[in-house]
Amino acid sequence: MTNPPPPSLGYSVTVTPSNSDSSTPQPEKNSAPPATMLPGAPRFPPPKLQQDQIPSPFFQNPNLLSPANGVRSPLPHLSTPPGPPVFKSPVRPAAVPFRTSPATPQPIAFSSGSTLPTSSPPHFLNASVELQHQVPLATEDSILVNESSCALFSAHKVLKQKKLTNVPSLGFGALFSPRREIFAGPQILQRDPHRCHNCGAYANLYCKILLGSGQWQCVICQRLNGSEGEYVAPSKEDLRNFPELSSPIVDYVRTGNKRPGFIPVSDSRMSAPVVLVIDDCLDEPHLQHLQSSLHAFVDSLPPTARIGIILYGRTVSVYDFSEESMASADVLPGDKSPIQESLKALIYGTGVYLSPMHASKEVAHKIFSSLRPYKSNIAEALRDRCLGTAVEVALAIIRGPSAEMSRGVVKRNGGNSRIIVCAGGPNTYGPGSVPHSFSHPNYPHLEKTALKWMENLGREAHRNNAVVDILCAGTCPVRIPVLQPLAKASGGVLVLHDDFGEAFGVNLQRASSRASGSHGLLEIRCSDDILITQVVGPGEEAHLDTHETFKNDNALCIQMLSVEETQSFAISMETKGDIKSDCVFFQFTVQYTNVYQADISRVVTVRLPTVDSVSAYLESFQDEVAAILIAKRTLLRAKNHSDAMDMRGTIDERIKDIALKFGSLVPKSKLHRFPKELSALPELLFHLRRGPLLGSIVGHEDERSVLRNLFLNASFDLSLRMVAPRCLMHREGGTFEELPAYDLAMQSDTAVVLDHGTDVFIWLGAELAADEGRSAAALAACRTLAEEITELRFPAPRILAFKEGSSQARYFVSRLIPAHKDPPYEQEARFPQLRSLTAEQRTKLKSSFIHFDDPSFCEWMRSLKVVPPEPS
């Protein structure tokens, strides 16, 4: 197997396995004017957690995530893409080993297994005799694929024929979201799981059980395993009392000896500190917006939250909270990394740099109020900013020791600490910096050096359980390629904003409050028939010494850079040969430490039936999931504008190939019919082709890079909205009607909301806008809807409103399919709402469109010699 190329900046990771089967200046002090434990579950039978029961403080029930996606191959290599917000990066092997925490399950505690007709443990007698009493716990159709599951497959059935299953234009795979909210919540167990001794898979509802001996057969490798008598039961129904044998999603929770003793619920979650690293080189308009956002941010924090404040320009100012009546700052030079003696003088001194909000809220407000705009008459891009040094100092403060203001003791953090950088310009001073001007004769080399330094700093942050989020705003270019590695390698995000106003403030709050687990490890196991060919997501290949290994464990293991609700892994799969069995199995396991310092192992097991019929296979296809998998594979290769243009061509070829392989030839024609079972897929890919991810809607390549990297790591729901916008038309009475995202929705007497993931647009028709009362009511209803549907989204989208005919309306129009170019019968077939319009309204709508060269969806399909599928 070829060695993987050294990975690049670390966020989203693509795993592509082989095809094999198997000095010491003291800081200067400047004064700044006010400027139960619940007992383990009984061994037999463990009770189910009822909906009305209060869950243990050590876990968040619906928000605990499920396993991430991985690749099944001995030594896969990773690839990671480019770009900022919550994103994806190019190929790279794991540099930061997964560190097993004391509470991580140990091999001795688990039972493991392998393939069936193999030898079973010595103390199990008469296994061959008892095979007649082997009971499958889940019947073939008893457990259906759940749309709210953590694992979403592109098809609910698997085709037995290798040749058609592995057609690359369509492909097969899954999206795994470890922290996706589960409707009924996972089953929770506070005990060790039973694991296969051979391959490491977990006992699950699809295992066959020998009732007399309690032995269970692993669904991955078919080996028999013991349960220490726990699964001995008089009937199959009794076994259903075990959560792991009755639910496809189970959370094993272990608190171990990390937090011994009883811990009150109110104090069970130890707030990880949040350190704000703030650009001190802003002009007055930007600074005013930033101050408003910072004041609102502090007011939003709970009393127990701990905060640190650092400013950076040519120097680094670290604010000291030891005096409640005022704030003072210790100042460090920014031209080089802080030396150990300076850091020791800072950290081991009397200053308090991380303080709970209940003791320092007023001081924080005074600090923000005391900020002053940049005084020198120097262009924004030419100002010295030592962002790298400031993050280094923030890391040193988080590492401590740092006295708690209240008792002078150091408390253990829950989850990852957060460093949130508020940046208004590039890093141009000190380590990790680049020259002010691109015309510098040595710029390419200096940029390359800065990239590597920033990546190493991000990895250092990750080793210290600190996530670096970079929130950029303003009109000054921040040099995205240089800052991106810092956020990615630490497990954080980089987000661009127009200014430091509303959207920036919301993201500041959401970045600090989102629950983040640490020490995440994702394992993926599949039946022998399945080969994982690629994984795209926020992780790196885990080294063999960072996780438990079993005798014949072929699981793909991925070290997660962070464990958050906004993530997903896109897993591409193939079959190794024609499948003989009636079903195949997939098991995803994500292990991490949550904010309550409990070790969580979420196990998600999926069984898919296999079929011979191509039609049955296609009918089981989930168009939206398939489209997102295709989009992530495509975007991974679109590292720049030129690549993006090439990828648009690959989408065209993909449509033609799917029609050729799975469609039919139109009689007496050279056109192919697209398979009717996949009727929604072409339109989704058309949105991808012309939208901001691959098209020319977004003006600057930095913006496209940020969006692509956000998309590559984003959850399924956000990914879907980023590809295909959701169009909602306002109706009288404050209700909304969902319509296709066609320009035919731009009717002059209506208001329309268009949710495109990172942007939400509100469009007011000219007739409606002329009626002041109606337009005000419609606008208020639309804005309320926009806020509601994006309430939990991170990054928070921009919400932009404009009237028909305004210059800004082009941002809205360009994201809609130009269906007005199609003949009337086709318009009505795909946009039935048109039938409710009068002839006069239809004429007025038709005359409102401006001609441009972009093809409609139907025109595009026909240009590919493919008949557009009938709308479903």
- The full set of domains in the chain, from first to last, is 151-255+517-621 (2.60.40.1670), 273-401+413-513 (3.40.50.410), 622-724+854-871 (1.20.120.730), 726-815+819-853 (3.40.20.10)
Of 268-277, 581-590, 817-826, the least confident: 268-277
Instruction: Give the percent of the chain with pLDDT over 70.
Output: 78
pLDDT tens profile 609-660: 999 999 999 999 999 999 999 999 999 999 888 899 999 999 999 999 999 9
Determine the 3-state secondary structure of 421 from DSSP: strand
E strands of 114-210, at which residues? Answer: 134-136, 151-153, 158-159, 172-176, 187-189, 208-210
**3-class secondary structure per residue, 329-379:** EEEEECCCCCCHHHHHHHHCCCCCCCEEHHHHHHHHHHHHHCCCCCCCCCC
When pLDDT is averaged across residues 517-523 and rounded to a whole number, the result is: 88
Q: Checking phi first, is residue 101 left (phi over 0); if not, alpha (psi -120 to 50) or beta?
A: beta
Picking from 450, 451, 465, the residue whose alpha carbon sits closest to that of residue 561 is 465
| Predicted local distance difference test score (pLDDT) of residue 546 | 56
* Strand pairing class (134-136; 208-210): antiparallel
| Predicted local distance difference test score (pLDDT) of residue 544 | 66
Tell me the helices (H) and strands (E) count for the chain, helix number first.
Answer: 22, 34
Evaluated on CA atoms 612, 614, 616, 620, the torsion sign reads: positive
The answer to whether the beta carbons of residues 626 and 573 sit under 8 Å apart is: no
> How long is the chain?
872
Q: Which residue has the tokens 């996949």?
A: 678
**Degrees to nearest 5, angle at CA 638 with 635 and 640:** 145
pLDDT band (50, 70, 90) for residue 566: confident
B/e letters for 511-543, b = 16+ CB within 10 Å, e = fewer, are bbbbbbbbbbbbbbbbbbbbbbbbbbbbbbbbe
Residue 747 tokens read as 């009717």
Residue 800 tokens read as 């932009």
| Predicted local distance difference test score (pLDDT) of residue 146 | 52
pLDDT tens profile 748-791: 999 999 999 999 999 999 999 999 999 999 999 999 999 999 99
The answer to whether the beta carbons of residues 363 and 326 sit under 8 Å apart is: yes
The answer to whether the beta carbons of residues 744 and 841 sit under 8 Å apart is: no
Q: Alpha-carbon dihedral of residues 323, 325, 330, 331, nearest 10 degrees?
A: 180
Q: Which residue has the tokens 């069995």?
A: 581
The answer to whether the beta carbons of residues 781 and 734 sit under 8 Å apart is: yes
B/e letters for 48-77, b = 16+ CB within 10 Å, e = fewer, are bbeeeeeebbbbbbebbbbbbbbbbbeebb
CA atoms within 13 A on the CB side of 566: 30
Outline where 763-822 has alpha helix (H). 766-770, 772-789, 809-813
pLDDT surpasses 60 at 696: yes
Helix H or strand E segment including 755: strand 751-755
Picking from 458, 456, 455, 479, the residue whose alpha carbon sits closest to that of residue 467 is 458
* Strand pairing class (726-730; 751-755): antiparallel
Of 241-255, 394-408, 636-650, the least confident: 394-408
Burial class (CB in 10 A: 0-12, 13-18, 19+), 603: buried
pLDDT band (50, 70, 90) for residue 744: very high
The answer to whether the beta carbons of residues 592 and 600 sit under 8 Å apart is: yes
Picking from 596, 500, 36, 78, the residue whose alpha carbon sits closest to that of residue 283 is 500
**Degrees to nearest 5, angle at CA 465 with 462 and 466:** 75
What pTM value is reported for the model? Answer: 0.82
The answer to whether the beta carbons of residues 454 and 310 sit under 8 Å apart is: no
pLDDT greater at residue 699 or residue 12: 699
pLDDT surpasses 60 at 118: no
pLDDT surpasses 90 at 872: no
Evaluated on CA atoms 388, 394, 395, 397, the torsion sign reads: positive
Q: Is the peptide bond before 42 cis (omega within 30 degrees of 0)?
A: no
| Predicted local distance difference test score (pLDDT) of residue 785 | 96
**Other beta carbons within 10 Å of 148:** 10
Q: Which residue has the tokens 């599951």?
A: 149
Query: How much of the chain is in helix, strand and coil states, percent to nearest 5?
Result: 30, 20, 50
pLDDT surpasses 70 at 532: yes
The answer to whether the beta carbons of residues 359 and 406 sit under 8 Å apart is: yes
The CA distance from 127 to 209, in Å, is 11
* Strand pairing class (151-153; 172-176): antiparallel
**Other beta carbons within 10 Å of 313:** 20
The answer to whether the beta carbons of residues 384 and 428 sit under 8 Å apart is: yes
> What is the radius of gyration, based on Cα positions, of the chain?
28
| Predicted local distance difference test score (pLDDT) of residue 418 | 93
The CA distance from 388 to 307, in Å, is 20
| Predicted local distance difference test score (pLDDT) of residue 734 | 83
User: Which residues have CB under 8 Å from 571's CB, separation 6+?
Assistant: 69, 70, 71, 173, 174, 175, 176, 524, 532, 534, 535
pLDDT tens profile 155-188: 999 999 999 999 999 999 999 998 777 656 678 8
Picking from 562, 358, 576, 320, the residue whose alpha carbon sits closest to that of residue 464 is 562
Picking from 7, 9, 16, the residue whose alpha carbon sits closest to that of residue 77 is 16
Beta bridge partners of 739: 727
Picking from 618, 650, 607, the residue whose alpha carbon sits closest to that of residue 631 is 650
The CA distance from 376 to 572, in Å, is 54
What is the DSSP secondary-structure string of 109-124? Answer: G-B---BTTS---TT-
